Each structure stands twice: as C-alpha cells, then as structure tokens.
Amino acid sequence: MSRIDDILVVGVGGQGIILATDVIAEVFLRAGHDAKKSEVHGMAQRGGSVESHVRRGEEVHSPLISPGAVQVLVAMEGLEALRYAHMVSRGGIILYDPLEIPPLAVATGQSQYPEDLSERLSLYSAKVYPVPAFALASELGNTRTQNAVLIGALASLMEIPDTLWREVLSRRVPARAVDVNQEAFALGSKAIVRGS
Amino acid sequence: MSEHTLLSGNEAIALGAHLSGVRVATGYPGTPSTEILEALAAGDHDETVVQWSVNEKVALEVGIGASLAGRRTLVTMKHVGVNVAADPLMTFTYMGVNAGLVLVTADDPGMHSSQNEQDNRNYARFAKIPVLEPSDSQEACDMVQAAFEISERYDTPVLLRSTTRISHSKTPVNPGDRTESRVDPGFIKDPSRTVMMPAYARGRRVAVEERSEKLRAYVEEVSDAAPSSLNRVEMRDATVGIITGGIAYQYAREALPDASIFKMGISYPLPIAAIEDFAGRVDRLYVVEELDSFWETELLAAGIAITPSSLPRVGELSADAVRAALSADTGPPTHDPAADIPVRPPVLCPGCPHRGIFYTLRRRRYTVSGDIGCYTLGALPPLESMHTCICMGASIGAALGIEKALGEEAPPTVAVIGDSTFMHSGMTGLADVFFNRGNVTTIILDNHTTAMTGHQGNPTAGYDAHLADAPRLDFESLVRGLGVQHVKRIDPYDLEHFDAVLTQCADHEGPSVIVVEGPCVLLPTADPGTIPCVSDQCVGCGACLRLGCPALRRRGTDKRAQVSINADLCTGCALCVQVCPYSAIVGEGADS
C-alpha cells in the first residue's frame, strides 16, 4: 500500500476525536508535509456521531477525503466503524475499538446494535484491526486516554518516527495527563497483531 | 513548512483581526462563527476590547459606534445572525466607516448546526458592500487584513464570508506583519454622515453609488495572475476554465487539477472585464459555487457565456460533486454504506436540566412552541414535545399567534426558550404577550449559559467573554418589568413540583412565566448527585427510558429486559428515580 495520507477518525461526540485529529494533523505538518483537517462542531457534539478528516500531501486541496479514498479509518466505537466503513479505499485499513456505546434507539429497545460487527467490517476491508483502546485506557485508570491508545496503534502503521508522535501528543494533552497518555500511546503501538 | 502552524479558519480570522490592530470585537455566538471571538479573547491582547453582545443587531450597533469612534472593529456572527443585524447594516452602508469595520458571516451550507442554509453573499449585493471569501486559513488571516484596508480606503463596511468547512478546518498559517489603521481615534460630529434622517440619507444614498463605481474599478485592479491577488487567474489547460472561490475552489482544484481557474477572493462586486478576458482564453467556462447561483446570475446578466452544469444547489459541495458535474472522471470506486444500522442523532446530555421539562410536556396535550438551543433536541423521540422551531426568539410570538388563531377552546399554548435566547430576542415577544392580553405560559430554561455553542457568557450567566465575573441580570424582576406578574421559579429536577406549577400556570388567566433554574451539567459549577441503582424490582416496563437519557439502557435485547444505569455517564439527577412506577430505581451505589 502507498504512503498513508488520508485518515478518517470517527466516534461518538465527547470521545476525544477532535484532539486525536489535532495530533495527527500536527504530526503531518511537522513531518514536513502540507496538512489539513476538518470536522464539524456544534450540535453533533451532544453524543452524536462525529467524523474528522486528516490529510497530508505535497499540496492538499479539499479538507475532506472522498468516499472510497480513506486509507485508514480509525473508529473509537464499533457501530461508528460500520457507519463509515464505506469510506475506506480498496486496500484500506479499518482500525476500530470494539467498544459498544448504544445509541438511544438501541438503549430504548427500538433498534438493535449490530451483532456481527467484525464480519460486516471485513466486507469493506481485508485489514480490519480491533484495538480494545477503551479497555486498555481503563486499565491505565484514565478512559480519556482511549484516543492516545488509538493514536499509538495508528502510528505503528506509519513511517513517521514515534518520537514525533510522542512529542506532539505531550504538547496537546493537559500537563497532568502527559505521562498516562504516553503510556496509552505505548500500549496502542503494540496493539495491532498483523496476521493477515 | 516549520514556520507554519495549523489554525482553524476561525482562529485565523481572529489572528488576522489582531494583526489588523482591531480594538473592538463583538458578536453573538453561533455555529460555525463562535470560536473567532473566543480565540481573540484567549489571546489576552490588552489593547482589544472583546465582548459578547446580547444579539447580532446589538453587536453590529456596538461595532458601528466603535468604527465611527475611529477604532478598527470586528463583528462576528453566523449567517442567520446577519438577518438580525440586517437593520443597522442596511443603513450603516450609507454612513460609511471612520476606522474599518469587518463583519464576519459564518455560513452553514449543509445545515450542520442551523435552521437554514441561506447564502449570505446575497447580503453584499443587497447592502452594496464588498464580500471577501477565503478558501483556507491562510487566506482567512490575510483577507481580514485586506478587508480592513478596503473598508477604510472605500469608506464601507466589508463582509468576510466563511463557511463551516473554512471555519472548522485547520490548515497551515504563516502570519504576516501587523498593520494598523491610519485613522485617528475620536468621534467626528458630522450629522450629514452619521444622522440618517431623510434629508441626510438622500445625500449618502448617492455616495453609495459612487462608492460602488469605485469598488467595481478596484476589483478589476486586483484581478491578475499574481499569487497575492485577491482575484487570482490560474492558467493551466485552456480546455476548461472555472470561476470559483471559497471552499469550492479547493474542491475544483482537487476534482479538475488541470483546469484553468479564476479564483474569486472578492465575491462581490464582480470583476466583469477580467472575467470576460478569462472567458476568452478558455474553451468552456464553468461556474463552481456552493449554494446560490450568485456569480452565475451576475455573469449571465453581463452577457458572459457559461456552460451549464449539473452542480447541486442544495447542501455542501465536495470534490466528488464537482467531479461528477464537470468531468468524465468517476473518482475512486466506492462501496455502499452499511444498511440497517441504528442512527446516532445528538441527544441531551445525561443530567441535562432540560430533560424533565420535556418529559412532563410530552404527557400533556399542550401546543409547545420552541426555540433555538440544545433544548431543540426536545423535539426528537422519545421526548417529542416541541412543535415549532423557527429562529432565535420566535417561540413566544409564535405561541401567541397559535393562541390568537384558535381561541379559548384550543389546548394551552406554551413557549419554551433558553436564557440566552430570551435575552437575544425573547423579551420583545413576552412584552407582546402582555400587551395583547395573551395567555401564553413561557418556560424560560435558565441554565446560566449559552450552552449549545460551548458556554459563552450572556447577561444572565454571570461571566463575560474573558470568563471573568460579570454583572448578572435577574430574570424574575426582568419578567415582572415586562408586565408578567405570574412568575414561578422551579428546580428542574423536581418533576412533581414542575407538573403542579405547569398545570397551575396553564390554568392561570393571563400570561405566566416559569423560570426553570438549573445550571448546564457541563459547567464546572455543576453539582453531581448520588448515582442511583436499579433493584430487582425492575420489571422492564421502560418508563424511565422515555426520559431519553444516554445513561439508561436495557440489559439485553429482550423487550422486557431490566434496565441498567451506566455509572460513567450518570450524573445522579434522579429523574429516573422519580418516574419509575415500581420504585425500582433507588439508593446509592451504581450498577453497571
């Protein structure tokens, strides 16, 4: 697969998606590329489905990645992975946290949470990597570091040195949470077991 | 690119304003404009006054005063806010500025967080003023500075139009040098310029036309191939020429990388001669613009031949939409989206003080006229108890209209409005209810902040744009002053009490107001309660689920499965404890 330039991060409002793409975009820029990121704030942040695009290249035009052109989909929740899976390119990667956050319609019993998630995701990509980021972050005692685990996992797929990722991450998180975020990043960078 | 930093369009506008020597900045919060003033306030520039106004009209009026007093002024709002500010704008354009005034309109194509997707380029033509449109953060920063120069040079307010994709995208910015106004501060007493009564306004009306003439000449001057030109001619392959600007420029560049482009940095007035020249150098000329056919209409009127295309007129454009309309390239192969998966609309937060109000209203046959804020989510299932939402402050007037149209036989009419929205434009509606002998019950949801846009201060919040303490207005005295004497103050988490007060107010002869006082749960001052737990008494009846609380869910897929509480999300508001008919939600300690 060619160099990873187009990354889509999705999840549920409040999970730290914007911070994650801030880190990725800054890493791209500091690695010497043109970089852009885009998201929508406002109403969607109230527990709704959130997507944020990050791109790099010699010259990036649209801040949005076209459907079918996402090289890595990073999903912070299972259902959201499936919702955006069609955005992934042929040969693209889906990296997702199998965490289940039931939307209201599921919680109230009017709708069902998809049960065959990994199977359905595999229809969109041959490279589907579950990363239990929320569970790992819980073990560290800080579930807010779920995004740092996923950033670590993403970084392990890319050619950019870990030191740059770690440096940018430390500058972006609150001072008191730097250490735990670094631990989370380390757990994430070892989380992908590439068998296929 | 190490000298660059990634800034959102809104941060870049704030930076551009700072670099322009802005001394006064004001606005009203509204997505996607809000972060501009927040970024400027966070900059802690001692020389700059940054403040939230109660609404966009007042914001622009404050801005007009500051400009006339010889200080560069920035005024920010979302697209629909310009409707509110349109009254002063349409006359300020006659007066002209003293120091520069830039009005930022942040439009929302696709309606990510808005009630409509009006194209505010139309205001430029309507008010006969220039509008600049950046297509990334660097341009947003630079164009604010250019806009101030134009404002002072041509004695005109200038619109800067952003859109959601500009305001909320981050792209690299390398800030330029600081510029300052050459205007000396001080208010110049010249009634023929600043008192717009008919005799003086007629004189200024002529001045506006003279200014328009000069602006049309100016936009021709800044249309050429130089990279720094506001209107930039990019000649590539001559087969296809595209007139575009704003975020649509980026989509056009991505979709048709070889096409020649006439990039509109100043969207109005149009450089007709320069575009005619460009048209003569390409085989086919397209216009790629988001929302209205604004440029196309102007260009067709000027007799320039445009090749028709099938670009959508509704919603946001994208590189794919441009590709599909203008080229044979089909783009990357795509999959079908996954079918039959549950949607995830935004919801009221766990512990939100609005929840119990809508839960109670849902059980009545009342007609509920709603308003703009987080609480508009009360219109969605399972709460489903808001029946109108039009624009800021419309709830009370609309409720009065429903009542007047249907008379006494109709179910009671209730208006629901937030504290910031009431201050914005609800007060006048309430005075109208009083004056016209209405019976409307107005519920003011006072959560002590402008919550949906991210907790900006307002006159009832107690803090200002710098998050410093601010004077706080008392709702009860305000409402009494507007003529409504039947005023009740309630706790949003006591459902039984609210239920009784609601009935009593609805039965009351004459207007009534219920002030629901409960701070937004996301405010740092919010006081968490005890997390309840679900006992074995739970029969799975689902009564609590009708609260629409994200912390409650059934334990399984069975229709009568017991409910559980997610202790990570629960704030202990205890509404579920109150609505459970089997007293099955009790006590301390969580289950999860």
In sequence order, what DSSP letters do the residues of B234-281 get, joined into one string?
A: E--EEEEEEEEETHHHHHHHHH-TTEEEEEESEEES--HHHHHHHHHH
Q: In Å, how far are B51, B449, B524 from B571, measured between CA atoms?
A: 32, 19, 13
What DSSP element (H or E) covers B535? none
| List of chain B residues whose C-beta atoms are within 8 Å of the C-beta of residue A120 | 338
Q: What percent of chain B has a predicted confidence (pLDDT) above 90? A: 92
User: Residue B150's closest CA among B214, B217, B100, B75?
Assistant: B100
- Per-residue pLDDT band for B393 (boundaries 50, 70, 90) equals very high
Please check whether residue B342 touches A, CB under 8 A: yes
Determine whether the interchain pair B552/A107 forms a contact, defined as Cβ–Cβ distance below 8 Å: yes
Provide the CATH number for the domain formed by A6-105+115-189 in this structure.
Answer: 3.40.920.10
User: Residue A131's closest CA among A150, A112, A115, A148?
Assistant: A150
Superfamily holding B355-517? Thiamin diphosphate (ThDP)-binding fold, Pyr/PP domains (3.40.50.970)
Fold agreement (B5-221, B533-586) = no
Q: Is A11 helix (H, G, I), strand (E, B) or coil?
A: strand
Please check whether residue B253 touches A, CB under 8 A: yes
Residue carrying structure tokens 């390409």: B282
Q: Which residue has the higher pLDDT, B171 or A109?
A: B171
Residue carrying structure tokens 């997505």: B31
pLDDT confidence of residue B408: 83
- pLDDT at residue B72 above 80? yes
**Is-contact B248 B290, C-beta < 8 A?**
yes
State the first-to-last Cα distance of chain A, in angstroms, to the nearest integer.
Answer: 14
Record: fold of B533-586: Alpha-Beta Plaits (3.30.70)
Residue carrying structure tokens 């107690």: B462
Strands A34-39 and A49-57, by their bridges, are antiparallel
Determine whether the interchain pair A90/B112 forms a contact, defined as Cβ–Cβ distance below 8 Å: no
- Its sign, for the CA torsion B205, B206, B207, B213, is positive
- In this structure, what token pair is assigned to residue B227? 């990279």
Strands (DSSP E) found in B330-474: 367-369, 413-418, 441-446
Task: Give the whole-angstrom CA distance, residue B107 versus residue B57.
Answer: 17
pLDDT confidence of residue B69: 98
| List of chain A residues whose C-beta atoms are within 8 Å of the C-beta of residue B331 | 66, 68-69
How many residues would you count in chain A?
196
- pLDDT at residue B208 above 90? yes
- pLDDT at residue B590 above 80? no
Q: What is the ipTM of this complex?
A: 0.96
Superfamily holding B5-221? Thiamin diphosphate (ThDP)-binding fold, Pyr/PP domains (3.40.50.970)
Task: Give the whole-angstrom CA distance, residue B248 versus residue B312.
Answer: 12
CA dihedral B399→B404→B405→B408, nearest 10 degrees, is 100
pLDDT confidence of residue A196: 40
- pLDDT at residue A43 above 70? no
DSSP A156-171: TTSSS-HHHHHHHHHH
Looking from the CA of B347 toward its CB, the CA atoms found within 13 Å total 26
- Which residues, listed in sequence order, are joined to residue B489 by a DSSP beta bridge? B515
User: Residue B452's closest CA among B113, B89, B27?
Assistant: B113
| List of chain A residues whose C-beta atoms are within 8 Å of the C-beta of residue B544 | none
**Amino acid identity for residue B79 in this structure:** H
Residue carrying structure tokens 């969580």: B590
- pLDDT at residue A194 above 70? no
Per-state percent for chain B, helix, strand, coil, to nearest 5: 35, 20, 45
- Its sign, for the CA torsion B374, B378, B379, B381, is positive
| List of chain A residues whose C-beta atoms are within 8 Å of the C-beta of residue B542 | 108-109
pLDDT confidence of residue A44: 56
CA distance B443 to chain A (A): 22
Strands (DSSP E) found in B252-402: 259-264, 266-268, 284-288, 367-369
Q: What is the mean pLDDT of chain B?
A: 95
Q: Where are the domains of chain B?
A: 5-221, 224-326, 355-517, 533-586
pLDDT confidence of residue A45: 64
- Which residues, listed in sequence order, are joined to residue B223 by a DSSP beta bridge? B231
pLDDT confidence of residue A116: 92
Q: In Å, how far are B230, B335, B417, B492 from B356, measured between CA atoms?
A: 53, 42, 15, 7
Determine whether the interchain pair A63/B171 forms a contact, defined as Cβ–Cβ distance below 8 Å: yes
Which runs of consecutive H residues, i.e. helices, occur in A31-161? 78-84, 104-107, 117-122, 133-139, 146-155
pLDDT confidence of residue B525: 77
B450: DSSP letter: B
Determine whether the interchain pair A13/B334 forms a contact, defined as Cβ–Cβ distance below 8 Å: no
Determine whether the interchain pair A114/B169 forms a contact, defined as Cβ–Cβ distance below 8 Å: no
Q: Is A123 helix (H, G, I), strand (E, B) or coil?
A: coil
Please check whether residue A161 touches B, CB under 8 A: no
Task: Give the whole-angstrom CA distance, residue B427 versus residue B450.
Answer: 16
- pLDDT at residue A42 above 70? no
B463: DSSP letter: B
**Is-contact B308 B318, C-beta < 8 A?**
no
User: Residue B67's closest CA among B94, B90, B99?
Assistant: B99
Measured in whole angstroms, how far is the alpha carbon of residue B31 from the centre of its chain? 4
User: Residue B273's closest CA among B304, B309, B243?
Assistant: B304
What's the rounded mean pLDDT across residues B31-51? 95
Strands (DSSP E) found in B13-116: 24-27, 49-52, 73-78, 101-107
**Amino acid identity for residue A82 in this structure:** L
- In this structure, what token pair is assigned to residue B109? 């194509």
Task: Give the whole-angstrom CA distance, residue B511 versus residue B396.
Answer: 11
pLDDT confidence of residue B1: 42
- In this structure, what token pair is assigned to residue A8? 């889509």
pLDDT confidence of residue B368: 98
CA distance B516 to chain A (A): 21
| List of chain B residues whose C-beta atoms are within 8 Å of the C-beta of residue A46 | 346-349, 374, 377, 452
Measured in whole angstroms, how far is the alpha carbon of residue A93 from the centre of its chain? 11
Selected for mutation to probe chain A from B329, B344, B565 (highest A CB count within 10 Å) is: B344
Determine whether the interchain pair A42/B343 forms a contact, defined as Cβ–Cβ distance below 8 Å: no
Strands B24-27 and B73-78, by their bridges, are parallel
pLDDT confidence of residue A98: 96
Record: fold of B224-326: Rossmann fold (3.40.50)
Phi, psi of B436 (to 5 degrees): -95, 20
Q: Is B498 helix (H, G, I), strand (E, B) or coil?
A: helix
pLDDT confidence of residue B591: 44
- Per-residue pLDDT band for A61 (boundaries 50, 70, 90) equals very high
